[in-house]
A and B are shown apart, each in its own frame.
Chain A
Amino acid sequence: MDGLDLLKKNWKKQEDNLPHLSYDDIYKMLWKKSSSIVKWIFIISIIEFLLGTLLSIVLADKEYWQQMETLHLKKFMIFAEAVSYPITLYFIYRFYRNYRKISSTDSASKLMKDILKTRKTVKFYIAYVLISIAIITMVSIYILMHYHVLEVNANEASKYVFDTVDWIKMIAILSIALILLLGVIWLFYKLLYGILLKRLNRNYKELKNLDV
């Protein structure tokens, strides 16, 4: 007998050995897709955090802190880090909570709410990163200028006196530089989380369509 026909003859019999999923097992599967996206958001946030920490450990050696010291930035930098770590950890915790919540959800309406919540958390997180970078940069520049003016004045003040136009020019240049920097960082995050958020949004829309 041909092998294929032999298999066909026995094909029906092997149905007894097939796995059997319960109603609940299948029901839960319907919502698994969003949970894997949210899991990725959580994983990416951790990777980002670890990379950031690693980078600051590698870059912030003794020399770096000495430089900060001479620029009078050391205290502020330590303060900024002390504040930013707990906040970042808090966001990671929130991402984790979102992930746990979505993977255990068993109703569509709750899932929709959780998706919206996750999107909100991500947006808050990106806003936090941008705002904190802006604040840190502005304060650093202020401190630099402040001490610079003090030290220069002690020597030959007359040479370096800024008039109003000079100040406006400088502030304008610094502002543009800062905006560019923030723009680049924003684009980076948009790319990093944007794709995931888009997919999440698509799931949300699908769920909403089923609702009608």
Chain B
Amino acid sequence: MNKDLEHQFVTNLEKHQNIAHKICRIYTNDQASHNDLFQEITIQLWKAYPKFRGDAKFSTWMYRVALNTAITLYRKKKRGIQTQDYDTVHFKIKAEEYDDEAEQQIKLMYDAIKELNDIEKALVFLYLEDKNYREISETLGISEVNARVKMNRVKTKLRTILNP
């Protein structure tokens, strides 16, 4: 067994695990599903790792594989996730840092995001990660124009969900 490869991979993943956790936070509603998705992402990354040549950054590559895993997994389940099950403990926001109104707004925003479909969630996630349209298009394998159009649609959709 190539111990070096293993060690390299785990070290990289440990360093960049936040990416996967944040994806889990967007796609799942409770701790158990969070852990399941995280594990699935780990396995998919590890399977794909021999093909990772190192010509891209590990994090860039990880965005792509991890998001694809989440998208595929939740596409299979269709709309198996119920938004009302949503667990608020899941993203504790330190109360002292924000005023109540902002906190409330963020919570509503999370609820709205949970109602998006798998691809839309990916777009929102990359937007929150402050990726530009070129990076978004590369990660999701769509054209830059398409990414822009889709992103605008998602923003409109979120607004409609929040202000019906």
Contacts and interface: CB of A to CB of B under 8 A. Distances in A.
Query: Per DSSP, are chain B's interface residues mostly helix, strand or loop, or mixed?
Result: helix
B2 A6 contact: no
Interface in B109-131: 109-110, 112, 124, 127-130
B102 A11 contact: no
Contacts of B158: 3-4
Nearest to B43: A33
Contacts of A211: 1-2
Contacts of A15: 18, 22
Interface stretch (A18-26, A60-68, A135-143, A145-153): A18-26
Interface size class of A (residues with CB under 8 A): 20 to 34
Interface string A26-41: 1101101100000000
Interface stretch (B8-16, B64-72, B140-148): B8-16
Contacts of B25: 18
A108 interface: yes
B132 to A, nearest CB: 13
Contacts of A207: 1
B1 A107 contact: yes
B91 A14 contact: yes
B127 to A, nearest CB: 7
Query: Per DSSP, are chain A's interface residues mostly helix, strand or loop, or mixed?
Result: helix
B39 A32 contact: yes
Interface string B82-108: 000000000111100110001001101
A210 B5 contact: yes
Contacts of A22: 14
B39 A8 contact: no
B61 interface: no
Interface of B: 1-2, 5-6, 10-11, 13-14, 17-18, 21-22, 25, 34, 38-39, 42-43, 46-47, 50, 91-94, 97-98, 102, 105-106, 108-110, 112, 124, 127-130, 155, 158, 162
Q: Which 5 A-B pairs have the closest CB atoms?
A: A108-B1, A3-B109, A18-B21, A29-B42, A11-B128
